[in-house]
Structure 1
Amino acid sequence: MSAADLDTARFLDLGWHAAAPEAVSLVQAVAALVAEQQAPVRQYDRLAKGQARLETAVSGALRGLLRNWMHGRAVFRSHKKEHFSGGPVGFRVFAATMRSLQALELVHKVPGYWCRPWAGQDPELMGPEADLGDGPAARYWPTAQLLALAWQHGLTPAVLRGRGPARAFRPVTVSGVPRAGETVELRDLSAPRAGEQRVGRVSGRRGPRRGDSEATCLARTEVWTAIQLRLAVEAHNQFAQQVGVTGCALLPQWRRVFRGNWALDGRWYALGRDGCYQGLPPEDRAELRIGGEAVAELDVGASHLSILRQLAGLPFLLDPYQIDGVPRAVVKRYVLECLGEGRPKERWSKLAKTEVLEVRGWSPARLRPLVLAVHPCLTEPTRFVPETVAAGHSVPGRKLVSPFLVAREAAAMTAAMLELRVQGVLALPVHDSLVVPRWAAELAMAAIRAGYLKHCGIDPVVRDKTGRADTAERELEKAPAAA
């Protein structure tokens, strides 16, 4: 596997257990091999609990390895112990299992490593107090021996692709409530990983008052904003605990992450890594249950692009990704990469050609004039970021485009979540979509559209990923293609 292939690796989610007979058979066979290999140091056969932990680790590992290998991708997993806290598989069990799979020649591994957050630094010159940053996590992919073993047990690609009752693996049941920790974070925009400033634990209990100096007033306003944001997240977390959610490994709990200031980013991120509902494929999220009720996932179409077009004064399009003569998936990928970069793209990202196969026949140079003719706002999107938001940041202006659009989207979704909570409806955010009880789908559609009208100035297309669509989506079928 080449270095470029390793860059496309996906996160190894351990929150899955075998469901289909073929998967159960393979997991039990591999777990027996691992237990035998570890027999000198671990006695799994003596404790049923230990055997169950081993089979859970093997099940999650095999599911991630085999499903991603169908697309030619490896998987990655950090060996930081805190990343396993509260999950279905502990660090010690995971590490021992992966070592055994390597010893049995069932898994290939490229070790991860630590590095400074900048290039060109000689590791041998780094002192004991050096400030280390994050490096790539370990990469894993199956050997030919594991693939042959899966085939022998009937776990073919067709079985792995099964959906609904025929799924080979299912998310583990809720195992607990993740520790919330800091529910609001304000990170340094120029260094989102290293040197971040966190404000989840906020000191002070009041906002600005008459007679405060300008500096004091600004500081108290910042504190008051953080307190309000924190209380809103905590209220939603408590509501989720009261209502209850099943179909994922951990009960959903959230934190909001802002970057640079309170007007940038602000997305809701579910806590936990393994079996987190936000990381589930859409077909698996459709099997969640909120308060025991079936769910609908309501998605806003072309959220960021529609917001940018409104800021630029361009008319609203029902399907802005539809351009004559160009596959819709290619247009969507190019637009998303332009928005992420904050300028028109000159080359595809490393992931583009593996995630959207159609882009292989379309170069960014060929796409650029076609897309910019329909969306001139992408020529220089930095013009639409307000100066009050950009002030005080040392990063290039193009780096503010995506966080600003995310912030508008997050504000609209937060308003919709609050409106639904007032009506007794729990909404689970997935960035530009909400998962709600099926019976509340119409209420949620109205709340999302009201939130976007208030915070983004648009009445968006809202579609139901689980099979239904609102009026605007049905009109889309009759809309002419954008030229």
Structure 2
Amino acid sequence: METDRESASYLSLRAEPYSEQAKALTSSVSHATWALGDSKRANPSKLHTDATGAFIGDLLACHAQSPTKSLYRPMMASSFTGERIGYRVFKRLVEGAQSAGFVSVAVGTGGGSEIGVATRFRAEATLISLASECGIKPEELDAHFRPIARPARIAHPLLLRGSSRYVGSKKRQGRNIPIDYEKPRAAELAKQVNDLNSFFADIQIEPAGDHLAFQRIFNEGDSPSFDWNKGGRLYSMGDSYQVRKSVDRAKMKLSGEPVIEIDIHASFLTILHALLEKPLDPTSHDPYQHPSIPRRILKWWVVMTLGHNRFHRAWSADMKADYHERTGGKLGKDYPIKDVREEALKLFPLLKDWETCSTRWGDLQFIESCAVVDTVHYLAMEHGIPALPVHDSIIVPYSKKEVATSVLRTMFKKHVGVEPTLSVK
């Protein structure tokens, strides 16, 4: 079973057949899988054929890698909201492809979004053989399948979720809530997102498949106090640049130019201190500096804490795995969370009252998102500068570093009330 991104890739469903050989393969698989369904129509629908081409493109790309990888994808209906390929269409395709022997499927547990629990897919020998018969060689896939063009607008630029909840130590995502785009606030927010989608549709982004479209995700839509003011981060849909490591993002290009990433230091901490009228010391460029606890460990504790409503009793599984991968050690043994908490509260005494604080993670994320989204929108609309958001940072062409830094600083101060500490990497 795959448990990390090194052994599996996200099933993005963004490919489309380009060559005559790829179109012939898609047609053959589409007809075969359609025939195994219960439709009275003789020929597959366009939606089914489009889904088939996208599925095949991803399957063959993973099979061609060395070592061969599998694909993963959560199979919750809600994970397909706003996507080019809908849940019902894809589910039917998978069932047909499995029955025809084109793909093997390892059903996930709980429908989660982590690789270890998401459903996994692998191309079977039948599909590989058929691709070969159509004249498609693994080393020439780029000549046969290509990423779909980025859309100028999407039907669901906003996604609204209910409150998340914890089941044991695992956080469960809230249900999707329908959105009425006729209401003024929703229409305004949706327009801003599709303004960006329209702008980025024509921007050259390398690697080409690292961005499709933006969607802004709001949380706690079932809360009595909700007024489009919880969460609100801008997400690049699918397996995008946002999930790449920073060293990989640094290799990207925008409009043919190398990029730099401008980061807001201690964003949530800065916002919380400003809201409670106890601003962080502006002369401290690194609030996570500590004589005995590594910066990363201290930051992990703060991130965990501000993402929850109480103090954690143990480190998360992801943090333990990350620490072990980096050091070979055991996080809980080397840095007991109780000891880290004690030192963190000395550095940030304001956090002592976090469990009873009226400000929650959704509030902090919303304020941060407003600063970042307004920055990205202003740079695009007023300066024609592409800026890709990564939650608390933006990626811009190197030559636009100065103007982008200035706009981000201005927008952060507008929404937070204090200037941020920014760094360029």
Query: Does TM, normalized by the shorter one, top 0.5?
Result: yes
2:354 aligned with 1:381: yes
Which one of the candidate residues 297, 300, 303 is aligned to 1:333?
A: 300
Task: Say which SS state the counterpart of residue 373 (structure 1) adopts.
Answer: helix
The normalised TM-score by structure 1 is 0.58
Counterpart in 1 of 2:10? 12
Counterpart in 2 of 1:322? 289
Give the 3 Å change call, closer, same or farther, for CA 102–51 of structure 1 in structure 2: closer
Give the 3 Å change call, closer, same or farther, for CA 195–282 of structure 1 in structure 2: closer
Q: Distance in 1 between matches of 2:13 and 2:248?
A: 12
Which one of the candidate residues 262, 285, 295 is aligned to 2:228?
A: 262
Is the CA contact 1:199–1:226 (under 8 Å) kept in the aligned structure 2? yes
Task: Say which SS state the counterpart of residue 86 (structure 1) adopts.
Answer: coil
Is the CA contact 1:177–1:253 (under 8 Å) kept in the aligned structure 2? no
Deviation at 1:10, TM superposition (A): 7.8
After superposition, give the CA deviation of every residue in 1:236-265 in whole Å (9 maximum; x if it has no partner).
222222445342325433334253322221
Is the CA contact 2:153–2:197 (under 8 Å) kept in the aligned structure 1? no
After superposition, give the CA deviation of every residue in 1:168-188 in whole Å (9 maximum; x if it has no partner).
xxx964544286123234443
Is the CA contact 1:183–1:234 (under 8 Å) kept in the aligned structure 2? yes
Counterpart in 1 of 2:154? 180
User: What stretches of structure 2 of length at least 5 have no aligned partner?
Assistant: 16-28, 37-49, 123-144, 166-172, 221-225
Deviation at 1:95, TM superposition (A): 6.7
Counterpart in 1 of 2:75? 78
Give the 3 Å change call, closer, same or farther, for CA 197–441 of structure 1 in structure 2: same
Q: Distance in 2 between matches of 1:282 and 1:101?
A: 39
Which one of the candidate residues 181, 192, 207 is aligned to 1:200?
A: 181
Q: Distance in 2 between matches of 1:353 and 1:184?
A: 33
Give the 3 Å change call, closer, same or farther, for CA 99–352 of structure 1 in structure 2: farther
Counterpart amino acid of residue 196 in structure 1? I
2:343 aligned with 1:350: no
Q: How does 1:278-289 map to 2 (within 5 A)?
A: 278-289=242-253
Give the 3 Å change call, closer, same or farther, for CA 94–232 of structure 1 in structure 2: same
Counterpart amino acid of residue 218 in structure 2? V
Identical columns (%): 23
Larger Rg: 1
Is the CA contact 1:76–1:139 (under 8 Å) kept in the aligned structure 2? yes
Q: Distance in 1 between matches of 2:201 and 2:59?
A: 30
Counterpart in 2 of 1:56? 57
Counterpart in 1 of 2:240? 276
Is the CA contact 2:98–2:105 (under 8 Å) kept in the aligned structure 1? no
Give the 3 Å change call, closer, same or farther, for CA 139–55 of structure 1 in structure 2: closer
Which one of the candidate residues 371, 379, 383 is aligned to 2:344?
A: 371
- What CA RMSD, in Å, does the superposition of the two structures yield over aligned residues? 4.7
2:401 aligned with 1:441: yes
Q: How does 1:141-180 map to 2 (within 5 A)?
A: 173=147, 175-177=149-151, 180=154
Counterpart in 2 of 1:109? 106
Task: Say which SS state the counterpart of residue 257 (structure 2) adopts.
Answer: coil
Counterpart in 2 of 1:302? 266
Deviation at 1:437, TM superposition (A): 1.9
Task: Say which SS state the counterpart of residue 341 (structure 1) adopts.
Answer: coil
Q: Distance in 1 between matches of 2:271 and 2:208?
A: 32
Deviation at 1:446, TM superposition (A): 1.0
The normalised TM-score by structure 2 is 0.65
Count of matched residue pairs: 350
